[in-house]
Amino acid sequence: MDLDAYRHNAESFITELMREYYRHYAGLKDSFEIEAIYAAHEGLFRRDSIEELRELDARMTGDGDERRRARMLLDFAVEGYVGEATKAVEEELARAEAALTIDVGGEQIGFREAPVVQANEADPGRRAEIERAILTATDDGLGSHYRERIEHQHACATELGWPSYADMCEHCKGIDLRALAGQTAAFAHDSAESYPRVLEPELRRTLGIGFGELRRADLPRFFRAAALDGHFPSARLTESFDETMHGLGIDLARQEGVTFDIASRPNKSPRAFCAPVRVPGEVYLVVAPIGGWDDYVTLFHEGGHTEHSATVDPKLPFEFRRLGDNSISETYAFLLQHLVEDPVWLSRRLGVDDPSELVAHAKAQRLVYLRRYAGKIAYELELHGEAAGGWGTLAERYSELLGAALQIQWPTETFLADVDEGFYCACYLRAWALETHLRSYLRERFGPAWFESREAGDVLQRLWRDGQRLDAEELLGELTGARLEFGAVLADLGLDA
């Protein structure tokens, strides 16, 4: 295999695919045309190409860059092999989702727009109506596509010689998924008693209900935190991000190829994202505005991804610029996101005199997310494992595990929709742990207002320039010498006493 030619072709493929992803999910085009992109690069994902890359990976020893590059190429090729098998269903799923509407009391709402409407709905009864309509549409309108996608993923893993999709992802991504699930299960156990106590006052303040009354339909409104809107004016949204970057010595106006797409569109995905079409050189930050707190959280999170992608050294090898452990980029995203709950940042950037309510609400939100993802990785290991049960059994296990994690009744209808490809839930979990270390490191070196330190900005830009050359464990080892353990998150929340 000509590795240089393979890398060149691979980068062209990612660029074309990511540009199509951006245009569709930003609501700029209805269709999601990826089959032609795969067809133009069909040589990347042939079985013989994957076998050559597996042999290359097996020959590599040690911890050097060549070993890292070989494993990243293998992961890319295997993901592409699965993508090739699922491309038709992905196109159909995207088309169906974009065209789907739900009926709520005679009002037609776009399926993708519905979570935004639900988050802005003050009436709990109507939130529940929207929830029922979303779940029905997910099950009836999209369920067959989700099942077909999972079936293809599992078939690809066995075709390539792995016992299961979980084993394939674990090998190619170099993540011990079972060990991570063990750590997150310990976190869920250790935080179970504190969880309702942390949530109760915030639920009463934001929704006017107690913990025992909480339903899943209420969570979007809880995350929306409309009662805090007065602290988060829309007019300050992009300004506050620009000022934060300026404090770190980063001039957004001089960054070439970075686009902030914050306009509202009917078919725009409610899930914010960063689309790094070319790294660096063409990066899109996409947010569907809801208002208030949530817009700041999503903008700063995706801003972390954007700054990372925009700052990567263009001279780095393709693998380190475009591939690698996505826990790294998620760490930078969480680092900037958590500024929106930092008392010093709230005071200096938004003039909040008493940030105690905001800090308490952010802690409650983060605990919900952490426990939810602890449940997700446990479920996905069952879904994608060798001993996975039938659809009915998996739907019940999803409801059971997620319901136990959040201590509320959880539906079965989203048991396949609520799954990201390639165990991306593990990247989030590892990033939450790594971010606590990085944030502590910056505070210790540059003080509580580290976001106003150009020296701190220099540290971040040095990390960003390195792309994703290192994985999460390696980066933390080089930064502080500590080991990556999920238990650090418990201490960061103040729940380890």
Per the CB < 8 A criterion, the answer to whether 419 and 383 are in contact is yes
Low-confidence ranges of the chain (pLDDT < 50): none
CB atoms within 10 A of CB 428: 21
Per-residue pLDDT, 289: 84
CA dist 340 → 26, 87, 346, 348 (Å): 24, 37, 7, 11
Q: Tokens for 341?
A: 């709950």
- The residue written with tokens 């038709």 in the block is 88
Residues paired with 274 in a beta bridge: 285
Residues paired with 260 in a beta bridge: 285
Per-residue pLDDT, 270: 82
Nearest C-alpha neighbor of 309 from the set 299, 297, 318, 322 = 322
Nearest C-alpha neighbor of 27 from the set 246, 269, 257 = 269
d(CA 233, CA 190): 37
Nearest C-alpha neighbor of 13 from the set 36, 47, 46 = 36
Per-residue pLDDT, 464: 98
d(CA 249, CA 459): 11
Q: Tokens for 88?
A: 């038709």
The model's pTM is: 0.94
Per the CB < 8 A criterion, the answer to whether 105 and 129 are in contact is yes
CB atoms within 10 A of CB 57: 18
Per-residue pLDDT, 89: 95
Q: Tokens for 16?
A: 């074309």
| 392-436 confidence digits (pLDDT tens) | 999 999 999 999 999 999 999 999 999 999 999 999 999 999 999
Residue 328 DSSP class: H
Residue 140 DSSP class: I
d(CA 358, CA 345): 12
For residue 266, is the peptide bond before it cis, meaning its omega torsion is within 30 degrees of 0?
A: no
CA dist 109 → 32, 58, 145, 221 (Å): 21, 52, 21, 17
Tell me how far apart the 2 most distant CA atoms of the chain are, in Å.
Answer: 63
Per-residue pLDDT, 497: 55
SS3 state at 70: helix
The kind and range of the H/E element at 381 are: helix 356-383
